[in-house]
Structure 1
Amino acid sequence: MKIFTAKQIYAADQFTLAEQNMNSYELMERASIQLFNWLHHRLKGAQVKIKLFCGIGNNGGDGLALARHLQEHGYNIEVIVVNYSKKRSPDFLANLERLKDRKIWPYFMNPDTGLPSIDSEEIVIDALFGIGLNRSPDKWVGQIIEHLNNSGAFVVSVDVPSGLFLDRAVENLKSVVKANYVLSFQFPKLVFFLPETGVFSNQWEILNIGLSQKYIEQTHASFELIGKNEVLSYYIPREKFSHKGTYGHSLILGGSYGKIGAVSLASRACITTGSGLVSAYVPQCGYIPLQSSLPEVMVLTDEGEKEILNISVKIEPDVIGMGIGMGTTEKTQKAFTEFLDSLKAPLVIDADGLNIISLNKSLLKKLPPKTILTPHPGELKRLLGAWADDFDKLEKAKQFSKTYDCILVLKDAHTIVIYDDQGYINTTGNPGMATAGSGDVLTGMITSLMAQRYEPVKAAIFGVYLHGRAADIAIEKLGYQALTATAIINGIGPAFTDLFNVPPMDAENTAKKE
């Protein structure tokens, strides 16, 4: 699913109006009906008090139109217009007149107006500002927003939490609505998925308002949201007449004294994800632990007893995943550098491999094209340097990717895969994944997919999706706190199976069609 900028969304509106021979008021009415249907389906006429806080632009117009539909269906409403400007949009004014025709008289708030009472049992509709906000709200409006946030009421934001910008960081955290639910028109917004701005959107849902499919299909978006439908097209099925060599030979390289577990997890994840052959390359202290615990994995050892000293690989793997548990001693750094000089196979680099590169940035020029780097935020900062905010981080990541022709997997609550100027935002995963070894598992999974001939960018995207989905399946029985890296590996098989599971309702509809 594409994630468009505010400018592109406005263009989609205009394209739709021309294509469907309609005016902006009619499009606003379509949006308000979708808002009403969502609320009505859940409230079913319940007489909970609904307070609609409306601005004087088009977002406020959506709120006024929603208020009309709620009133017509017998809901207990109160409309509050926050009069923050003398300039009002035509569609806001048109909906205001239609409210007055129905004897609904909004309460107008001005800078000298006291704050309205809000009960914690009420529902608040936030329709103050939409996607066009380009400056922080005035101080008195910020106080209203802070009042909403402190009320304890259930807050539903229209399109985007008021106070958020779509293309830059928040200037005043107290002047942004903290929404329990966001009803976003047609497209998700990038701010829903970034750590600094995502905290204002507890949950979100897309309301289809019928914008032009032609515009959506022909317009490029710099970011895409990745779910089951997107990755299903990546899946390469297994053929009947195939063998283990068909699905590639992966090498997992890393480990040091006390950190052999990282290689064990990555190797097990690698073979569980489908690599035909998996070899592990470790210092000598890792031989017995790996050989005895992973019978499916072949083990090669370095000359070093407790750390990697001189990488000498006698096999020719299809892909190498390296860096996990490796350590960053001077001798290991030297071995890593010399290995890159003679490298031919594609690479996935994580953990200490990234840290070694951060200590010697010239190594970046030695990486094969489309090497996949999988940093967590701390490792990313060591690679890129400090950033001002999440938007700056994404721009720096894109530039880094272009400069070194590499793929960045920015691990976070919503992991983002960056290649060149394109970003792919993952939808799977949960807080339980904040556990030791989770990143090692991801390294093994991506390495495995590359060995199976998935293109590097698709291997990264698909691997991230499956990793998160495996964890989502695991927590259904374990909960967040008990989730372990091993449990994530155990969820890989079910995550693959889940790609082809049809929800019960869809299965029923399919049966009816047949």
Structure 2
Amino acid sequence: MKIFSKEQIYKGDRLTVERQNISSTDLMERAGIQIFNWIHQHMQGAQVPIHIFCGIGNNGGDGLVLARHLILDGYNVKTYIVNYSDKRSKDFLINYDRIKQVTKDWPTLLKEGDEFPEIREKDIIVDAIFGIGLNRPIQRWVLLLFKHLDASRAFTLSVDIPSGLQTNKVPESDLCVVKANYTLSFVNPKLVFFLPDTAKFTDQWEVLDIGFDNTYIFETETEANVIGKNEVIPLYIPRNRFSHKGHFGHALIVGGSYGKIGAVILASKAALATGAGLVSSYVPKCGYIPLQSSFPEAMVITDNNEMEITNISYNFEPTVIGIGIGMGTSENTIDAFSKYLETNKKPLVVDADGLNILSKSLDLMSYLPKGSVLTPHPKELERLIGTWDDDFDKIDKVKAFSKKYKVVVVIKGAHTITVYENKLYINATGNPGMATAGSGDVLTGIITGLVAQGYEPLIAAVFGVYLHGKSGDIASEDYGYENLIASHIISYLGEGFLDLFKRPETTQQQEQEENK
């Protein structure tokens, strides 16, 4: 799913109006009706008081369309105009006149110094005050209104975006944004719904189709895309029935140190469970027995050192190397890692201590093959790119880093974002139970296993992050969040793959009904 910028949405509005030979007021009517349909589907005529707060721009116009349809359908509606300016948009004024034609209870004008309406906890608030076009500081009395709405603890539904939140900027204060329980977003979700600094302003969101021009949606390139099942299915490479293990590559996992061999076991198992034809593990001698006894499918090569990696040498040609997990950062290991990078030409997936070593000597980045995948958690990322002011600054710095070194960077988090040069791929799977030891090692193994099979590194990263999250989601249904451990994610990788081609239950039920 594409995430359009504010400017692209405005352009899409104009082209939709032109190509469909409708007015902007007609498009606003569509938007308001879609919100009405959503509310009506969930409320079914219940007479809970609905307080609709409308700004004086197009977001407020959407709110007025909604209010009119709710009134016509017999709902208990109270509409307010938040009069923060003397200017009104044309479509707002048209819908202001229309609502006065269907009710004697005209919208209440709220201005500075007015007492705010009483709202009970069991009421419903619809926030249609500011949309994506907000470009000015919010007046203090409007901020006090936000505080009043929040203090009511009533269910709050925001239209398109929580008021006060901008599409490309972190607010100066949490008090500057309406806190929504649910946001109904037009055309596509907004990038701010996925970033740690701004996702907190809406608990849930849903996209409403308002009939945007399909050609524009299809042809327009966006900086950011949300990756769900529909986006991943075309990436999947099916297997030939006559294939053998040699067709699916040889993954090498390099890492481990005394007390941290488990990281290599997890990554190696994940690489094989993702479909790599062969997996070899390169570890210090202390890892030989743990690997051979717990993971018999792997081939094990050991360093001459008992406790740590001091030299990386083998007599075969791997397809891809996953490196860094549990490796440590001793002087001997840093030296071995550095020398290995100077001679290696194979694709790399670098994690954990591999990243920490790179961050200490960024000159080593020049030895990474183009398209190498880096999978840092937040602190590892900070060591690589430096500190950042907010999430947008972080993304800008990661894009610059990716472009400079021609690498794929996987920013791990609640919505893991894969970055390659100027493109962002935002993952839609995963859950809080995956915030557990070893989960990142499993992801490294998954991506390495996909590259081994012939997936391009960027595709492997995007697909791997999705599969990692989906397998964790399915596992959490059996184990819950607290009981979920990294090994469970590996065990459910098969379910993750199978889910790609599982039809929705509603579709199956419909077909069964039709066949009766």
TM class by smaller structure: over 0.9
Structure 2 residue aligned with 1:462: 463
CA distance in structure 1 between the aligned counterparts of 2:194 and 2:274, rounded to whole angstroms: 27
Structure 1 residue aligned with 2:63: 63
Structure 1 residue aligned with 2:256: 255
CA distance in structure 1 between the aligned counterparts of 2:227 and 2:28, rounded to whole angstroms: 28
Aligned-partner residue type, residue 20 of structure 1: Q
SS of alignment partner, residue 269 of structure 2: helix
Aligned-partner residue type, residue 456 of structure 2: E
Q: Give the alignment of 1:330-349 within 5 angstroms.
A: 330-349=331-350
Q: Give the alignment of 1:295-444 within 5 angstroms.
A: 295-444=296-445
CA distance in structure 2 between the aligned counterparts of 1:180 and 1:395, rounded to whole angstroms: 29
For the 8 Å contact 1:56–1:87, the answer to whether it is kept is yes
SS of alignment partner, residue 169 of structure 2: coil
Aligned-partner residue type, residue 447 of structure 1: T
How far residue 114 of structure 1 moved from its aligned partner, in angstroms, is 1.7
Structure 1 residue aligned with 2:81: 81
Mind listing any 5+ residue stretches in structure 1 that lack a counterpart? none
How far residue 314 of structure 1 moved from its aligned partner, in angstroms, is 1.9
Aligned-partner residue type, residue 46 of structure 1: A
Structure 2 residue aligned with 1:17: 17
How far residue 512 of structure 1 moved from its aligned partner, in angstroms, is 7.4
- Deviations along 1:432-454, whole A, 9 cap, x unmatched? 11100000000000000000000
CA distance in structure 2 between the aligned counterparts of 1:135 and 1:356, rounded to whole angstroms: 45
- Deviations along 1:281-308, whole A, 9 cap, x unmatched? 0001000001000011111101111111
CA distance in structure 1 between the aligned counterparts of 2:307 and 2:139, rounded to whole angstroms: 61
For the 8 Å contact 1:143–1:175, the answer to whether it is kept is no
- Deviations along 1:85-113, whole A, 9 cap, x unmatched? 11111111111111111223111111111
For normalisation by structure 1, the TM-score amounts to 0.99
Mind listing any 5+ residue stretches in structure 2 that lack a counterpart? none
Among all aligned residue pairs of Structure 1 and Structure 2, give the percentage whose two residues are the same amino acid: 57
Structure 1 residue aligned with 2:94: 94
CA distance in structure 2 between the aligned counterparts of 1:177 and 1:491, rounded to whole angstroms: 39
Structure 1 residue aligned with 2:125: 124
Instruction: Determine if the alignment matches structure 1 residue 6 to structure 2 residue 16.
Output: no
Aligned-partner residue type, residue 329 of structure 2: T
For normalisation by structure 2, the TM-score amounts to 0.98
CA distance in structure 2 between the aligned counterparts of 1:304 and 1:135, rounded to whole angstroms: 63
SS of alignment partner, residue 53 of structure 1: strand
CA distance in structure 2 between the aligned counterparts of 1:42 and 1:329, rounded to whole angstroms: 59
Structure 1 residue aligned with 2:190: 189
Q: Give the alignment of 1:195-214 within 5 angstroms.
A: 195-214=196-215
CA distance in structure 1 between the aligned counterparts of 2:114 and 2:378, rounded to whole angstroms: 44
How far residue 318 of structure 1 moved from its aligned partner, in angstroms, is 0.1
- Deviations along 1:333-364, whole A, 9 cap, x unmatched? 00000000110210000000000000111011
- Deviations along 1:471-498, whole A, 9 cap, x unmatched? 0001111111111001111111100000
- Deviations along 1:379-424, whole A, 9 cap, x unmatched? 1111011111111111111111110000000101100111111111
**Quick one: structure 1 residues 154 and 293, their matched pair in 2 at CA, closer, same or farther if it must change by over 3 Å?**
same
CA distance in structure 1 between the aligned counterparts of 2:152 and 2:270, rounded to whole angstroms: 46
How far residue 134 of structure 1 moved from its aligned partner, in angstroms, is 1.4
How far residue 507 of structure 1 moved from its aligned partner, in angstroms, is 2.3
| Bigger mean CA offset, 110-119 vs 352-361 | 110-119
Structure 2 residue aligned with 1:497: 498
SS of alignment partner, residue 63 of structure 1: helix
Aligned residue pairs, count: 514
SS of alignment partner, residue 33 of structure 2: helix
For the 8 Å contact 1:136–1:171, the answer to whether it is kept is no
- Deviations along 1:360-383, whole A, 9 cap, x unmatched? 110111101100000111111110
For the 8 Å contact 1:309–1:332, the answer to whether it is kept is yes
For the 8 Å contact 1:226–1:424, the answer to whether it is kept is yes
Aligned-partner residue type, residue 74 of structure 1: G
CA distance in structure 2 between the aligned counterparts of 1:214 and 1:263, rounded to whole angstroms: 47
Q: Give the alignment of 1:157-172 within 5 angstroms.
A: 157-172=158-173
Aligned-partner residue type, residue 92 of structure 1: F
Runs of 4+ that moved beyond 2 A: 507-514
CA distance in structure 2 between the aligned counterparts of 1:224 and 1:99, rounded to whole angstroms: 38
